[in-house]
Amino acid sequence: MNSYDFSHNNLDAIFSFQKLSHCQFPSLNISHQFDFSFLDNLILNKSDFQTSLSDSILISDTQSVTAEVDKLMNEERERLKTFRNRIYYLLLFLFLGFVVKAYFMYRYYKKTKRQRAQMLLENKNLQMTKKENKELQQKINTSFDEVIQLAKENSSEFLIRFQEVYPHCYYKLVHLYPDLQTSEIKFCAMLYLNFSTKDIAEFTFVTPKAVQNRKNRLRKKLNISSDEDLNVWMKKTCD
């Protein structure tokens, strides 16, 4: 039995005793021996007491429920906070991963683009070089044919054209052997073009013996061994 039930039952017993003393034993005049005034106050305040006790119990229950609700709400808030943090870190990780991937893709793209541009430039230069070499070779062939034709004709323009087509050979001879005369340089040019003794004799309208004598004088002047082929020596010297 709780305190509320105990207090309620005692009040009921006192109330019944007072009623019984007035109704059953009026001749005893018990009221002058017992002062029931405090009982009257208790009876009058019975309802207030019961209400106050009920309110106290209700407040206690309400506080318990409120505490439990607060606890559940705090747990839910912590759970949501943890969930939000996980989402935040996940999004941050994905963002950083995207940035890193984009950076390396950009670098790869720039590198590939640069390599492709370099390859295109090299191919273009190669094509241009091939074209230029082909054109140069054609010019050389044309010039070579022209020089050969001038030599065959024993033209006075032969040495001038030879100097234009083979400037390196002409200037080497002049630089290494400044004492060479123009006729001797012309003779060296014919040897450089790999003309034989018979060809030179035919083109210059002299005998092969006269050409051979010129070769011997040139060997002596340029200090070339008799074992050395003059045509080969001229190629090595000029190139």
pLDDT digits (tens, 9 = 90+) for 153-163: 988 899 999 99
Answer yes or no: is pLDDT of 147 > 80.
yes
Count of Cβ atoms closer than 10 Å to residue 67 Cβ: 10
Q: What is the pLDDT of residue 4?
A: 46
More reliable by pLDDT, 21 or 73: 73
Helices 208-222 and 182-192 cross at an angle (nearest 10°) of: 100
Lowest mean pLDDT across 20-34, 133-147, 207-221 = 20-34
* Band of pLDDT at residue 33, cut at 50, 70 and 90: very low
Answer yes or no: is pLDDT of 114 > 50.
yes
Answer yes or no: is pLDDT of 25 > 50.
no
Are 200 and 190 within 8 A, CB to CB?
A: yes
Q: What is the pLDDT of residue 134?
A: 64
Answer yes or no: is pLDDT of 98 > 70.
yes
Listed as own residue / partner, the contacts of 148-152 with beta carbons closer than 8 Å and 24 or more positions apart are 148/193, 151/189, 151/190, 151/193, 151/195, 151/203, 152/203
d(CA 157, CA 188): 15
Answer yes or no: is pLDDT of 34 > 60.
no
More reliable by pLDDT, 153 or 56: 153
Answer yes or no: is pLDDT of 17 > 70.
no
Amino acid at 45: N
Are 238 and 190 within 8 A, CB to CB?
A: no
Q: Give pTM, 2 decimals.
A: 0.46
Answer yes or no: is pLDDT of 109 > 80.
yes
